[in-house]
A and B are shown apart, each in its own frame.
Chain A
Amino acid sequence: MITPYAWMVPLVVVLPLVGAGLALAAARRTHVQRIISMTVLGAMLVLAGVLLWASDRLGPQVVHVGGWMPWEGIVLAVDRLSALMVIVSTTVTMGVLGYSIGQGRSSFDDESDGHSPLPVFHPTILVLAAGVTTTFVSGDLFHLYVGFEMLLAASFVLLTLGGTAERVRAGTTYVLVSLLSSMIFLIAISMVYAATGTINLALLAQRTGELPGGTVAVLHVMLLLGFAVKAAVFPMSGWLPDSYPTAPAPVTAVFAGLLTKVGVYAMIRTQTLLFPTTRFDDVLLWAALLTMVVGILGAIVQDDIKRMLSYTLVSHIGYMLFGIAVGSTVGLAAAIFYVIHHILIQTTLFLVTGLIERVGGSSDTGRLGDLARISPVVGVLFFVPAMNLAGIPPFTGFLGKVGLIQAGIDQGTWLTYVVVVGAVVTSLLTLYAVSRVWGRAFWSENPEGMTGQGPVRGGHHEALGLGVLFPTSALVAVTVALTFVAGPLYDITTRAAVDLMLREPYLQAVLGSGAGL
Chain B
Amino acid sequence: MSVNLTTVVVACVLIGTGTYLFLSRSLVRALMGFLLMGNGVNLLFIVASGPAGAPPIVGESDEPMVDPVPQALVLTAIVITLGMTAFVLALAHRARQLSGRDLVDDDTESARIHARAEADLLDSPSARDVTEQIAAGGELPESRHHGDTESDGEVGTTWRDGIPERGGGGRPTGGPGTGGGR
B45 & A176 in contact (Cβ 8 Å cutoff): no
Quick one: given A168-B91, A364-B142, are A111 and B76 in contact (CB under 8 Å)? Answer: no
Interface residues of A in 146-199 (CB under 8 A from B): 146, 149, 152-153, 156-157, 160, 163-166, 168-173, 175-176, 179-180, 183, 186-187, 189-191, 193-194, 197, 199
* Segment of A298-306, A391-399, A407-415 engaged in the interface with chain B: A298-306
Interface check B30, CB cutoff 8 A: yes
9 nearest A-B residue pairs (beta carbon)? A165-B152, A194-B48, A190-B44, A193-B48, A165-B98, A169-B105, A190-B45, A242-B107, A149-B80
Residues of chain B within 8 A of A164, CB atoms compared: 98, 144, 149, 152
Interface residues of B in 98-121 (CB under 8 A from A): 98-99, 104-105, 107, 109-110, 113, 117
C-alpha spacing A233/B95, complex, angstroms = 29
B135 & A156 in contact (Cβ 8 Å cutoff): no
A301 & B117 in contact (Cβ 8 Å cutoff): yes
B147 & A111 in contact (Cβ 8 Å cutoff): yes
C-alpha spacing A284/B80, complex, angstroms = 31
Q: Is the interface of B mostly helix, strand, loop or mixed?
A: helix
B34 & A110 in contact (Cβ 8 Å cutoff): no
C-alpha spacing A189/B47, complex, angstroms = 12
A142 in complex: contacting residue of B47, B73, B142, B145, CB < 8 Å: B73
Which residue of chain B lies nearest to A152 when distances are taken between CB atoms in the complex?
B84
Interface check A135, CB cutoff 8 A: no
C-alpha spacing A149/B145, complex, angstroms = 30
Interface residues of A in 63-98 (CB under 8 A from B): 72
Interface check B182, CB cutoff 8 A: no
B135 & A366 in contact (Cβ 8 Å cutoff): yes
Quick one: given A164-B149, A169-B104, A366-B138, are A193 and B45 in contact (CB under 8 Å)? Answer: yes
Q: How far is the CB of A116 from chain B (nearest CB, A)?
A: 16
A172 & B84 in contact (Cβ 8 Å cutoff): no
Residues of chain B within 8 A of A307, CB atoms compared: 109
6 contacts between A and B (CB under 8 A): A110-B145, A142-B73, A156-B91, A175-B91, A245-B109, A455-B145
Interface check B163, CB cutoff 8 A: no
Number of interface residues of B (CB under 8 A): 47
Quick one: given A169-B104, A301-B113, are A163 and B87 in contact (CB under 8 Å)? Answer: no
Which residue of chain A lies nearest to B44 when distances are taken between CB atoms in the complex?
A190
Interface residues of A in 290-341 (CB under 8 A from B): 301-304, 307
B41 in complex: contacting residue of A110, A149, A176, A187, CB < 8 Å: A187
Interface check B88, CB cutoff 8 A: yes
Interface residues of A in 255-309 (CB under 8 A from B): 301-304, 307
Report B16-39 CB contacts with A as 1/0, cut-off 8 Å: 000000100001001000100110
C-alpha spacing A194/B113, complex, angstroms = 47
B44 & A165 in contact (Cβ 8 Å cutoff): no
A176 & B104 in contact (Cβ 8 Å cutoff): yes
A242 & B110 in contact (Cβ 8 Å cutoff): yes
Residues of chain A within 8 A of B73, CB atoms compared: 142, 189, 193, 199
